[in-house]
Amino acid sequence: MSERRTPPPLPEALPVPIVDAHTHLDACGAKDAADVTAMVDRAASVGVARVVTVADDLAAARWAAEAATWDERVFAAVAVHPTRTAAFSATDRGEVEALAGRPRVVAVGETGLDYYWDYSPPAAQQEAFRWHIDLAKRLGKPLMIHDRDAHEDIWRILEEEGPPETVVFHCFSGDAEFARRCVDRGYVLSLAGTVTFRNARALREAAVHIPTYQLLVETDAPFLTPHPFRGRPGEPYCAAYTIRDLAQLRGADVAELAAAVAANAQLVFGLPDATAGEISGRGA
C-alpha cells in the first residue's frame, strides 16, 4: 500500500487528555463495537481520550447514535449534511429529531450550508438549516455548523432565526475578521487539521486570535489530516498533531492549551467528568 493511503504514525502522547470534537468513526472504517473500541483505544493512547462522532446522512445518524452506546468515550452528533438535503422529507426530519433526542447525542450537526459542492440546491440547504437550528433550540443542544463558501448566508440565517444557546463552527474556515465576528457573538470555533496547513495563511492568522475559552480542536477524520501528513487518511488520534501545531502557532504551552480545549468540550457538549478508564485508554 502506498504511503499516501496509510494513516500517519501515532504521535507523541499529549500531557493532558483532550476531546476530538468532530470525527466520523464510520468513515474511518469502524463498523461495529470492536472497531470503535480499537479506534478510540488508539486515540486514548496518545491523549485523545473522548470523541464526538458525527453523522452526515440518516444512515450515518443511526449508526452514530448507536455507536455512542458501545463505548463510554464516544458521543454523537446527528443531522443531515447540507449536501444531502435535496430530498429531506418530513419522515426524515422526524427520524433525525428522535435520534437527536437520545442522551448520548450531544449536538445537532453537522448542518449548515455548502456552496462548494453542487449536490443540493441552496434553497433546500437553507430550509434544512433553519429546521436544524429550530431543532437544536427545542432540544437545548449545541448546533454544529458546516460552513463551506457560505459565511454570509450562514450568518444571515442564524441572525434571522436566532441562534441556539451554543453554536459551534465545525472546521472553522474563516479569516481573522470573520473569526472576530463569531467570537463577539459568542460562537465556539472548532479547528481541524486545516489550521496546520502552511498555505492556510488566513486561517492560521485567525487561529492566533480566537480566545482560548471559545476554542475546540477536532479531526474531521478521516479527512483533513494535519501537516505533515496532509492527504493521508486520519483517525481521532491525529488531533494530537493538530493541538501541538496550534500551541506552537499561538505561542502557548501544550499542556495548558490541551486542558483548556478539553474543558471547553466538556462544557459545550455537556460531557460527564472523564473516568480513569477513559483517560488511560481502557474501553467500556
Whole-number Å distance between alpha carbons of 186 and 238: 27
pTM given for the model: 0.95
Show pLDDT as tens, one digit a residue, over the chain (284 residues). 456 789 999 999 999 999 999 999 999 999 999 999 999 999 999 999 999 999 999 999 999 999 999 999 999 999 999 999 999 999 999 999 999 999 999 999 999 999 999 999 999 999 999 999 999 999 999 999 999 999 999 999 999 999 999 999 999 999 999 999 999 999 999 999 999 999 999 999 999 999 999 999 999 999 999 999 999 999 999 999 999 999 999 999 999 999 999 999 999 999 998 776 666 555 44
What is the greatest pairwise CA distance in the chain? 50
In this prediction, residue 3 carries a pLDDT of 67
pLDDT computed for residue 4 by the predictor: 72
pLDDT digits (tens, 9 = 90+) for 79-97: 999 999 999 999 999 999 9
Check residue 284 and give its pLDDT.
Answer: 45
> What are the structural domain ranges in the chain?
19-273
β-bridge partners, 148: 114
At the topology level, CATH places domain 19-273 in TIM Barrel (3.20.20)
Return the amino acid letter for 194.
Answer: T
Task: Report cis status (omega within 30 of 0) of the bond before 163.
Answer: no
- How confident is the model over 227-236, as pLDDT tens digits? 999 999 999 9
Tell me if 124 sits within 8 A of 106, measured CB to CB. no
Q: Which residues contact 169 (CB under 8 A, 6 or more apart)?
A: 145, 147, 182, 187, 188, 189, 190
pLDDT score of 55: 94
